[in-house]
Amino acid sequence: MAAIDTLSRRRFLAAAGALGLGALAAPNWRSALAAPSCHSALAAPNWRSALAAPKQRAALAAPVDTTARSRLILLGTAGGPTPKALRAAPAQAVVVDDAVYIVDCGNGVARQMALAGLALGAIREVFLTHHHSDHNADYGNLLLLAWAADLRRPVGTWGPPPLVRMTRRFLQLNAEDIRIRIADEGRPPLAPLIRPHELRRGGVVMRDERVKVTAALVDHPPMAPAFAYRFDCPDRSIVFSGDTRPSPALVELARGADMLVHEVMYLPALERLIASEAQAGRLRQHLLDSHTTTEQVGRLATEAGVKTLVLSHFVPGGDASLTDEVWRAAVAPYFAGRLVIGRDLMEL
């Protein structure tokens, strides 16, 4: 264990994310090393060799810059509403200094923050790209659990309508728990801490002393409106596509960005994905009409001139045969910049 102790926590989290070892990001990660999910990766005689396996080299080739003011953490990288064993539901965190900005709130986002070592009380703003359940299922739960932990300052939330109504109804759903915790534990009322803002068009939507956030309307039929977001941080720019088919507005939003986090779909595996669906034909058409293929995402990133393309929201996200090498080979012919195959808890 002495060798592991010499790693900084941030570099170790990056390695764990590259391996998909969520358990290693837990606050007590030494005990987590014994977890069954970690056995296979740590069974190698030399765990450094395991970390340097071909599919991890891209993630480890550029060590985390511990002097940077901004951090990007991929909390969940699966696509689709059903839980996956291999990847968590969609969510990302941008961290600037001590402030956390969340983009999308898939199922389990609060636990993923805990695994990443992020304090729930550090959340400043929450952004939803659209209202498919894999992106908003834990919107309310994240804020409720943060309040139950150490959230004591207001949080702005941003997304398409009906965000205000959703927030109000979530508070109604949990009114009994909230009431008892206020009376029994002396917590402040939760409602005043959640400040929802409904977005209907693109443009600058939020600016504070750390970041400027710009939204663009993207194409994700039949869901409308749906948004992509650009974070201009003190040291770099990070763009999140949300769910979208190739969108000219997204190209313009991402123009010259340091990093584009984009959804991706692997067409050759599509038939396996929908084989068990009763409405296979309709699902196939939705995926083709509303998402971005490996070739399309590479071409879009090239057109936008981004420096780094990070693949996330993988469709299929639960197919173990789709290794990092498969995804890389499908995108690399169309994008010559730095290409990162996203993993849960990966830090960039």
CA distances from 102 to 33, 120, 135, 328 (A): 28, 11, 11, 27
> How far apart are the C-alpha atoms of 55 and 32, rounded to whole Å?
23
Q: Yes or no: say if 282 and 313 are a contact pair by the CB < 8 Å rule.
A: no
For residue 64, give both structure tokens: 């985390």
Helix (H, G, I), strand (E, B) or coil at 240: strand
Q: Is 324 a catalytic residue?
A: no
> How far apart are the C-alpha atoms of 334 and 330, rounded to whole Å?
8
Of 116, 108, 183, 190, the closest CA to residue 149 belongs to 190
Number of helical H runs and strand E runs in the chain: 16, 14
CA distances from 319 to 66, 79, 85, 140 (A): 33, 11, 9, 29
130's CB contacts (< 8 A; 6+ apart) are: 136, 159, 160, 220, 223, 225, 226, 227, 242, 243
> How far apart are the C-alpha atoms of 23 and 34, rounded to whole Å?
9
Element (H, E) at 338: strand 338-341
> How far apart are the C-alpha atoms of 29 and 283, rounded to whole Å?
40
> How far apart are the C-alpha atoms of 347 and 72, rounded to whole Å?
6
Point out the catalytic residue in the list 134, 219, 243, 344.
134
Active site residues: 134
